[in-house]
Structures are given as structure tokens and as C-alpha cells.
Amino acid sequence: MKTPLCDLSYCELETLVKQSGEPKYRADQLAKHIAAYDGFEMFTDLPKRCTATLENAYCDRPLTERTRVESSDGAVRYLFETQDGDLVESVFLPHGYGNSVCVSCQVGCAMGCVFCASGYYGLKRNLSAGEILAQALYIARDKKDDGGVRKIVMMGSGSPLANYDNTIKFIRMITSPKSLNIGMRSVSVSTCGIPDKIIKLADDGFTGTLSLSLHAATDEKRKKIMRVANSYTVREIIGAMREFFDKTRRRVVIEYILIDGFNDTDGDISELKKLLKGLCCHVNLIPLNPTDGCDLKPCSKKHAYAFCDKLHGAGISATVRRSMGSDVAGACGQLKNRTVEQQRKKS
């Protein structure tokens, strides 16, 4: 497998150019082609000797589109193939105020959440920073005429903070004026909660939105649906979220899937109230999207809104999340799993 050219930050491109004895401005030429997700055949402003050397050592497009599914609401789910044949899922979400792209950061996931399709086959490997970036670059190119991409959410398959170095490199690259120049405030990272990495993210200058997949307010309950809950307590994780807020002054988001009869009672409201006391946060209530192989049920829409009202009553800011693209294999990993199953049946 060749190193993706888009794995190189602008600084690394400058070093490459310098080491090759080429003039400095070549770094800008390369950065432009990378940002446009151009293939080497489009690097026509560079001398042949340069592209030949690049082609030997690097790969121009580490992801190719395998299939796409378009939703009636305009969301598009892309399934990409890596150089070594792994499948990676990303989503384009159209918004009047700026389109967003949801990217994956790992092939599979190790966190073991029972409701989530991404972890169904476990973790295969981390994606490199360039492979994460390539998802956004490809979609920005594909959707250029629809307003491009203004917002990035790391809410696809995989756990960004478990692939920390590539995640932070990706964030630095995508927010660079030499790349897509996405505003840092327009980057969201979702995590199932790795306390030391949450604090490191703040120390490394991340000032986007940090979302925590909490889903249950007590360790006892959380352990029943998220294997990672055996490693860290909710108190430790919320402690790290408080520290993140103190360092960045950015309100954090608490993601909370509503599962019928499991975490949607008045008792859960009081546990949430105790746990989140004094934390500057917004609770995003997510109606469970049923996945194959998991028999948990979503609560009714009416109950979700009633739960939301009760959170307001407890002094907690909350909304029920509007789902997009649920007619095209809604939650992360579902399109990939279906494609893998179809492949298995065929062979």
C-alpha cells in the first residue's frame, strides 16, 4: 500500500519539496491538487520528473467510490474502498447554512456498543489522517456545485479518540487555509469517552464541538450497552468533560440514545440531573435507529419529546435530534454491513 499524498500536511509537503531540490512554490501547487482531490494526471502544472517521482512513492487517491445511496432529504451515503479493499462509510448532509460531511476514522470499531452497526465486526484498523481527509475531499469535489462542504462531523464509524494522532492531524489539515479551510468551530468530534484523550484534545488546541456518547447516566446501566464503560466510570468521563470546558470555554454536547424502557424513565432524569450538575452542556436526544442483530427498541416520538420536556424542567438544555437519511441505512456502519452481507451471500 502506498502512502496517500494527502497524508502529508502542508509543512511535510514543504519538506518534501525542499528535499527534492524543487522551488518552494511547488508545495502550494501540490496542496491545491490535494485539496481538489485531483488524480496525478491532473498535476499538469508540475514538471513530468516531479509527478513521476511522486507516483512512485505516493498514492493520489487513497479512496475510490464503491457505491452511493441518495436519500429523499438530499443526504448522500457514500461507501468508499481503501487501497487494501476495506470499506469506509461517509455521509453528505445538505443544509441551507452550510453542508456537512460525516467522516469515519477507523475500519470497524472496538468500543462494543450493542446498538451500533459500526462495531458489529470489531475493529479492523485505524484510518490514516489522509484516509479520513480523503472522504471530505472527495465529497467536497463531488458536491462542488451544491455549495461544497462547510462543516465536518467525526461521527462515522470508529472512535476518533482511540485513533488520536490521526484524528488531530486530520483536524489540523482540514482547518488549514491550504486545504478545505473549514472553521475550527465547524468541526465536531464524537467520543464514547476516553478521559485523558478528552483533556489532550483541549490541550492540543481543539476548539470545535466535543460530543460525548453517554447513553446512560450510571455505570451499571452503561455497562449493559457499551463495553467501553468497563474501562472508565461516568464520573471520570464527565470530570474530563468539565476540564475540557474549563480549558476551551466551549459548551459540550451529551448524546443520549433513547431506548424504550431502558434509559427513558423519570429515574434516568434524576440520575442525569445529578451527573450533569454544573456542566455547561446541551443534551442531544437521539431516537434509537434499530440495527440488524440488536433487539433494543426506540421509544415513541411522543415519549422522546416528553423526556426532553422533563430535562428542561430539571434545568438541562436538550433537543430531540432530527435524523437525516434514515431511508438509506441511517446509522453509522449500516450500509457497509449490508454490502458485506450481500457480498457473502454472492460468494
Residues at the contact surface with ligand SAH, assessed by CB under 6 A: 111, 113, 115-116, 155, 158-159, 190-192, 213, 255, 257, 286, 288-289, 291, 331-332
308 belongs to the catalytic site: no
* Nearest distance from C-beta of residue 25 to ligand SAH, angstroms: 40
How far is it, in rounded angstroms, from Cα 256 to Cα 323? 14
332 belongs to the catalytic site: yes
CA 166 to each of CA 23, 181, 206, 220, 233: distance values in angstroms, whole numbers, following the listed order: 29, 18, 14, 32, 26
Q: Which of 6, 22, 59, 89 is catalytic?
A: 89
Q: Which of 105, 192, 299, 332 is catalytic?
A: 332
Contact yes or no for 94/325 (Cβ under 8 A): no
Q: Provide CB contacts within 8 A for 206, sequence distance 6+.
A: 168, 171, 184, 187, 189, 248
CA 162 to each of CA 189, 196, 203: distance values in angstroms, whole numbers, following the listed order: 12, 11, 17
